[in-house]
């Protein structure tokens, strides 16, 4: 599998070790991070480039996932999710790594390199890569709704649109009735 990775200065050492780990596991690793340590560099461009590469490869039918990381993983996840077709999830344990794939068909994960040991993070990444999306109807339906909104702004009908959930002066509120 091809794995696109990106970081900023916060994950430089982590990135180098991760690239070796993934290559030894047989993956084709593409690094989109910085080429030299700069404590003032900014993560958005690195993460967006990695996410763009994931989306492009997947559109071509190439088995591909992405891993982005920085100090907390939060900004890296946000940056990745700006790319059409990307579903990036912040992962902080094995369960969230599995659920990102099983429920959301996430194609990028974000990890806080300053929040976990290298071995913990590698465990999350390995589990993410190994976990397939089973394609259950309810999850596929929800992912399709996200894609529709991303593509053209389509949302499911608002169940409150027929009658706003606001009391007018003639109505009374019964707290036991809800």
Short-list 25, 32, 37, CA closest to 127: 25
Identified catalytic residue from 4, 9, 27, 76: 76
**Is 103 annotated as catalytic?**
yes
What are 142's two structure tokens? 């929800």
Count of CA atoms in the C-beta half-sphere (13 A) of 69: 28
Classify 32 as helix, strand or coil: coil
Count of CA atoms in the C-beta half-sphere (13 A) of 11: 33
What are 104's two structure tokens? 């959301």
Describe the strand order of the beta sheet including 88-90 as a list of residue ranges: 28-31, 2-7, 64-70, 108-112, 88-90
Identified catalytic residue from 21, 56, 98, 103: 103
d(CA 36, CA 8): 10
**Is 27 annotated as catalytic?**
no
Active-site residues: which are they? 76, 103
């Amino acid at each position: 599998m091809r794995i696109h990775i990106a970081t900023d200065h916060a994950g430089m050492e982590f990135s180098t070790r991760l690239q070796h780990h993934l290559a030894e596991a047989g993956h084709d690793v593409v690094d989109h991070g910085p080429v030299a340590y700069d404590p003032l560099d900014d993560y958005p461009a690195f993460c967006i480039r990695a996410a763009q590469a994931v989306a492009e490869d997947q559109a071509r039918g190439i088995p591909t996932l992405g891993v982005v990381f920085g100090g907390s993983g939060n900004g890296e996840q946000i940056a990745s999710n700006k790319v059409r077709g990307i579903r990036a999830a912040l992962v902080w344990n094995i369960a969230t790594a599995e659920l990102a794939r099983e429920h959301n068909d996430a194609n990028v994960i974000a990890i806080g390199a300053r929040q976990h040991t290298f071995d913990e993070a590698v465990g999350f990444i390995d589990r993410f890569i190994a976990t397939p999306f089973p394609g259950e109807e309810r999850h596929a339906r929800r992912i399709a709704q996200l894609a529709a909104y991303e593509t053209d702004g389509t949302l499911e009908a608002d169940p409150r649109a027929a009658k706003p959930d606001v009391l007018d002066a003639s109505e009374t509120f019964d707290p036991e009735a809800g």
